[in-house]
Structure 1
Amino acid sequence: MTLALLCALGTSLCYGLGSVLQGAAAMDIAPAARLDPHLLLTLTRTWRYPTGLALDGVGFLLSLVALRSLPLYVVQSVVSSSLAVTAIAAVVFLGLRMRRREWAALVSVVVGLTMVGLSAASQQPDAVGTRGQVVILIVAVALVLTSIAVVRVSDRSGAWVLGGAAGLAFGVVAVAARALPAFPSGSRPAHDAQLLLTAPALYALLLAAAFALTAYATALQRGTVVQATAPLVVGETVLPALAGLALFGDHPRPGWGAVAVVGFVVAVGASLLLSRYGDVEAAVDAVEPLGS
């Protein structure tokens, strides 16, 4: 379980730094009027976005390790602390100062994560059958279709809407990753590949991931990183936590239920208070000398 917690913390670190880099890159591109996957190709022309995307990729792989032995509510509450990572990076690398309430929020994140970690019980998730995986895929498709209808909200509220949609999509990614079939010990690679390719959860994961990246990049253009990331954090933590209880039989250690709930709320809530340090408008000039 210690390794899984370390992987979850590594995910938070990668996501926090990746969001700052992606936000800086998105600010240099003219806002898109609709969800356009071509936007991702445009963003790769600068070094910041591919680097941030690579950090997200590493974070996702680490999260897969964590999700195999930890409840979703534990992993996602740790992931929400990526905003605390952003705050620390702003202080260390940009020289920004934190007021007492931000320091209090940072301490609260640590306290909340400690409570969540102490309440966690190492467990194997309940197997999700084909029907459950199809439900996850339907949710992913419905989320994409619904978000396309509201993407033309062009004012700053559009950043909140698309950020929240991206968060829900990242939540679907986490749920789908947890629902992927486990490969039997000693099975043949061809059998494992067939098992994976016929799993609806795989396609839910791929669809949700592609949509989440596009929606988040568009949200970053509609407003600040704060406005895009704060609702994202809520979406990617609350949805998986509820899905973990309903689909996978997640549970804390016996007698630690109240500690888990309080720790989750404190960690996520305090992370949101730190979200203003996700705003990288002041950081763009600081990183510009490295070139594009």
Structure 2
Amino acid sequence: MICALAAAVCFGTASVLQAVAARAAEPGTGSGVDAALLLRAVRQWRYVAGLGLDAVGFVLQIIALRHIPIYAVGAALAASLAVTAVVAARLLRVRLSGLEWGAVGVVCAGLLMLGLASGEEGSGKGPLALKLGLLGVAGLVLLAGAAAGRLPDRPRALVLGFAAGTGFGVVEVAVRLLDSVWDVGNPALYALLLGGGAAFLLLTSALARGSVTAATAGLVLGETIAPAVAGVAWLGDRTREGLTWLAVAGFAVAVAGSLTLARFGEPPADPAPP
């Protein structure tokens, strides 16, 4: 759980650094799948620093996924939105209201409940249909991102963030389905590579357009719910005896707190000239 929370700190801070770099890059085609935007953003030190934090966070995430249930890791990663909001208040000069600070506390309370209730990682390996389904979802993430990139500015960041979160959710489940990194005959390996690559590309585009907190909220929503269901339904994830209600409540509270930050996390509009 400590590794999962540390990963959330890395991801949340990286999101803001990458948002600053992506917004400073020259505008691209407007498509959600904009590889050129990634190449332009990577020339800036903030984006490279964000990549470094992402790499550290990914390693910590894998360690966590190998020891505790997916639903616990996913909810812990939801705390990245609270980190994003706090860091954005400093770097992007976004003022957080009392409600938003309260939402940060709610996220922390939900994680505490979940940490107390979560059991051990399940031992299930999942059917072949699940592995092939992950590969199909990873492909759909790319298609959905291309379509979402043409939405109006207001919902674009949220939708692109959700598509990116779905891709990262594929990665979470795929990690549990792999015996090793050399498991080349396993469709989950290719789902991990395609889903992770597509998610990273879409997240960069999402952070370049619109609210960084809204984009990260979509990310959190996409990478928590479906992977948690997959872990319980197919991989054998369970809670501690008699504490299922606390785990469900903690998960719901953590995600709800994150979504509250997304709803009220828009930067204030520039005041009208006198």
Residue among 2, 8, 17 paired with 1:12:
8
Q: Deviations over 1:46-95 (max 9, x none)?
A: 00111111111111110101001211110000000012223343567788
AA of the residue aligned to 2:236: G
Would the alpha carbon gap of residues 158 and 107 (structure 1) be closer, same or farther in structure 2, given more than 3 Å must change?
A: closer
Q: SS state of the match for residue 69, structure 1?
A: coil
1:31, distance to aligned residue in structure 2 (A): 4.0
Q: Distance in 1 between matches of 2:211 and 2:155?
A: 11
Percent of residue pairs bearing the same amino acid type = 43
Q: Distance in 2 between matches of 1:98 and 1:218?
A: 24
Would the alpha carbon gap of residues 224 and 281 (structure 1) be closer, same or farther in structure 2, given more than 3 Å must change?
A: farther
Q: Distance in 1 between matches of 2:131 and 2:44?
A: 37
Q: Distance in 1 between matches of 2:257 and 2:240?
A: 24
Would you say the 8 A contact 1:33–1:154 is kept in 2? no
Would you say the 8 A contact 2:141–2:198 is kept in 1? no
> How many equivalent pairs are there?
267
Would the alpha carbon gap of residues 216 and 247 (structure 1) be closer, same or farther in structure 2, given more than 3 Å must change?
A: same
1:220, distance to aligned residue in structure 2 (A): 1.9
AA of the residue aligned to 1:216: L
Partner residue, 1:159: 157
Map of 1:110-121 to 2, 5 A cutoff?
A: 110-121=108-119
Would the alpha carbon gap of residues 151 and 96 (structure 1) be closer, same or farther in structure 2, given more than 3 Å must change?
A: closer
Q: SS state of the match for residue 267, structure 1?
A: helix
Mapped pair 1:106 → 2:93: no
Would you say the 8 A contact 1:119–1:252 is kept in 2? yes
Q: Distance in 2 between matches of 1:97 and 1:149?
A: 32
Would the alpha carbon gap of residues 229 and 95 (structure 1) be closer, same or farther in structure 2, given more than 3 Å must change?
A: closer
Gaps of 5+ in 1: 184-191, 283-292
Residue among 144, 155, 166 paired with 2:142:
144
TM-score normalised by length of structure 1: 0.83
Mapped pair 1:177 → 2:175: yes
Q: Distance in 2 between matches of 1:93 and 1:225?
A: 11
Would the alpha carbon gap of residues 242 and 46 (structure 1) be closer, same or farther in structure 2, given more than 3 Å must change?
A: same
TM-score normalised by length of structure 2: 0.88
Partner residue, 1:33: 30
Gaps of 5+ in 2: none
Q: SS state of the match for residue 123, structure 1?
A: coil
Partner residue, 1:218: 205
Partner residue, 1:241: 228
Q: Deviations over 1:122-157 (max 9, x none)?
A: 234311344431221112112322332343224322
AA of the residue aligned to 2:195: A
Partner residue, 1:54: 52
Partner residue, 2:250: 263
Q: SS state of the match for residue 33, structure 1?
A: coil
1:99, distance to aligned residue in structure 2 (A): 3.7
Q: Deviations over 1:158-215 (max 9, x none)?
A: 222211111111111111112112x5xxxxxxxx73xx12221111011011111111
Would the alpha carbon gap of residues 235 and 95 (structure 1) be closer, same or farther in structure 2, given more than 3 Å must change?
A: closer
Would the alpha carbon gap of residues 67 and 87 (structure 1) be closer, same or farther in structure 2, given more than 3 Å must change?
A: same
Mapped pair 1:24 → 2:11: no
Would you say the 8 A contact 2:213–2:261 is kept in 1? no
- Bigger drift between 206-215 and 145-154 goes to 145-154
